[in-house]
Every structure is written in C-alpha cells, then in structure tokens.
Chain A
Amino acid sequence: MFTLQGYGPLLLKGAKLTIIVGAGAMVIAILLGLAAALCKLSRFKIPAMLAEVYTTVIRGIPELVLILLVYYGAPTLIQDFATFLGKEIYVEIKPMAAGILTIGFIYGAFATEVFRGAFLAVPKGQIEAAHACGMGPVLTFRRILLPQMWRFAIPGLGNVWMVLIKATALVSVIQLPELMRNTDLAARNIHKPFTCYFAASLLYLAITIFSLVFQQWAEKKANRGVRRES
C-alpha cells in the first residue's frame, strides 16, 4: 500500500521547487520587512502610515485570496488600465513569479513586526554611544543597529519561515509544479490519494524538522557574544 509506484522522484522534484519558492519569498519578505520596519520607526509620518496600512491590510486577508488576486487579477487590472489609456496590451504573470512575489509580499508584513521588535530591543545606550562617537544615522544603522538586531530577530524570523514554507502549498492552485501540485498528479495517476498526500506531508515535516535544527544553530551562533549567567 505504501509504495509510490515510481512517483517518488516527482514528489522530490516538487519539494525542491517548494524550497526554491520558499527561499525566494523569504528573501523578498526580509527585504520588505526591513524597509517597512524602518518606515514604521521613522520620524516621517507618510512612510510610517504607509507601512502601517501595508501590515494591517495584508494581515487581514487570506493568503489564497491574495495569490488569486495577483495571479488572475493583476494582469486584467493592468490591461483595463491600459485600455483606459487607449492602448491594447496583453499581460500575463508567470505562476512562479506570482507565487514568489505574493508570498514574499504577504510574509513581509509579518517580518515587519519581527524587525520592528528587534530594532526596539537593541539597547538605547548603544545608539547614543554611536551618536556620541560621531556616527550619522546611516552609519549607526549599518554598524550598530543592523548587526545587533539579528539576535532578537532570528526566533521571530524562524516562525515566519515555518509558516511561509507551508503557505507555498497554496501556489499549487495556480499550477506551479511544486510539491503539492506534483502530489496531485501522482495521486490522480495511481489512484492512491492517501498514500501520496501522506508522503507529501512527511516531506513537509522533514523540511520543518530541518528548519528547526537550522534555527537552533543560527540562534546559538547569533548569541555567541552574549554573556550567560550560569
């Protein structure tokens, strides 16, 4: 019963794409999160407000709706806009790009909160000391704030990654041949849906376990300079 009848490699290939989509989305989420967190903490009202709207709106809408909105909605929106300007164009977004961009965009909102907390966790004295040494805001950020905040951000980012990698399963609805989609194909072909989806779930579980181990290692490494009371 528990054989995949030669569809194992297809599932593994899907898992590889799942990890690629997840990693790509995570990079976007981190960059967006950093930018939005800085906006939220800045003195300027308009960027702070924009970042607030971004996190509030994104966290209130299901991922699936956003993925469908970007994949199906964005091309027609652009086309309608072009028609409005008097031009006929045809726009199509590739499933891969739509998946990575949307998931990155969604989890950027969650990463924003992580980074905001992490920036605030860096002791104020550090920043005052940097100013006292004559560093400007950019230099203070690059030399003092950015290297020190990772220690506080890693646990939160680990959580974001765990949720994000599971959310990549949703990209299967826009036909990207990642793990979930390939499992679908296998299940249809060998008429063993339980076996196939169970195998897929174990692959996701393996990714989760590996991520947990990696996170522990990263936390240890990031905290290596911290004195522990024993």
Chain B
Amino acid sequence: METAIIIESLPKFLDGTLVTLQITVLSVILGFILSVPLSIMRVSKNPFIKTPVYCFNFYFRGTPLLVQIFLIYYGSGQFQSFLTDVGLWQFFREAYFCAVLSLTLNTAAYTSEIFRGGIQGVPVGEIEAARACGMSGTLLYRRIIMPAALRIAWPAYTNEVVFLLQASSLVSIITLMDITGVARVVSARSFAFYELFLTAAGIYLVLVYGVIFVFKRVEKRITAHLNPSMLTS
C-alpha cells in the first residue's frame, strides 16, 4: 500500500470533492425547482397536462443516467450547426453544463414522482378545511398542499438526494474532475489503483452520511409539531 500517493493527491481530491458538491448542489436545487410544477401537473386531471409529464418521467426513470448524459453531451454534437445558429452551442460544448443539465432532468423526473406521492398523501380533510376557509388555486397549494406534501415526501427525497450525489460520479466519464475523475486520472498515472479508489470511496461515504445526517435534522425540524417529545425539551 502506497500511502504516499494518497497523501500526495489529497489536495486534488479536495478539488474533486468541491466539483462533486458543486454539481450535486446545483442539480438538486434546479431539479427541485423543476419538480414542484412537474409534480403539480402530474396530479392534474387534464390528460393534456398530465400525459407529457408522465412520459417525461417514464423516459428519464426508465433509462440509465449514463445514456442520458451521453445523449446530451455527445448527442448534441449531431445538431451542432442548429445549436450554433440559436446560440446554445457554447453551452452544450461544455461538459460541465451537460453534466448539470442531465443530472437536473434526471432528478427532476424522480423527485416529481416522489412529490406526486406526497401530494396524493395529503389528508383530504386538510384540503377541504382550506377550501372552507376560502383558499383555492395557488394559495391552497402554497399554504396547505405543498408544505404538507413536502413533509410526507421528505424521507424519500432524502434518498433521492443521496442517489444523486452518488450518480454525480458518472460525470467523470465525460472528462470532469470530480472525486471519481481525480481517482481515475491519478491512478492511471501511478498504478496505485486500490489505494486511490478506496480513498474516493471513503470520501463518498463521509459525504453520503453527512447528507443523511443533515436531512434527518431537517426532517425533525419540519415534523416537530407531530413529535410530542420535542415539546418538553
């Protein structure tokens, strides 16, 4: 075991960790923003609103993330002249942009299905009470349904964020230097394969259980009113 290489490459791993976190946080935030309207459309009774979202979710949940990344990163090359004309090629040329875009679309599909479950899990009585108070439309969603749905969906959403953090390792395949990318490049040069991949695995473990810890704290916070034991403390 060559511990020297591990220590030597720690600064690179730190940079890689920052890239991993950046990409994950960006995709989580953008995915969340996308998935809220998507989930509301998904529970609509109008088939013209419901079906496109259903198809989008089915496609992105039914195909591997790697295919989606390649479809956007390499596939956009097939439309280079068109994308140049509309001024988008400068974005699609960048691996970073394509990585964030594909991770965002992927997590939006999974998250909107999770939120759909949350919305459908909101007790009917709460919605009726809100309507009786005169709320409807946006106000009803903003004040009553979405907060309640988010509480119900939170544990599943935690899992999705953890999966996204791990899935972000795939961006190393399209040349980005995240944690996995650093491990791959450094090990290819030094032949210290297991040392470096074990280091990468260790960093991911810390990040994953860190995310779980934070999300569990938030869960306690947002469900505090359902937990009488917190009243005494």
Contact = CB atoms under 8 A, between A and B. Distances in A.
Interface residues of B, number: 41
Q: How large is the interface on A (under 10, 10 to 19, 20 to 34, 35 or more residues)?
A: 35 or more
Contacts of A169: 64-67
A32 B181 CA distance: 30
A63 B173 contact: no
B59 A166 contact: no
Q: Main SS of the interface on chain B?
A: helix
A76 interface: yes
B56 interface: no
A173 to B, nearest CB: 6
B197 A201 contact: no
Interface stretch (A34-42, A124-132, A202-210): A202-210
B204 A65 contact: yes
B166 A180 contact: no
Contacts of A173: 173
Given A61-B204, A65-B180, A65-B200, A180 B64 contact: yes
B197 A194 contact: no
A103 interface: no
Interface of A: 57, 59-66, 68-69, 72-74, 76-77, 80, 166-170, 172-173, 180, 183-184, 187, 191-195, 197-198, 200-201, 204-205, 208-209
Given A68-B183, A194-B77, A204-B62, 10 more contacts: A60-B205, A62-B167, A64-B180, A68-B180, A68-B197, A72-B187, A166-B64, A184-B70, A204-B63, A204-B67
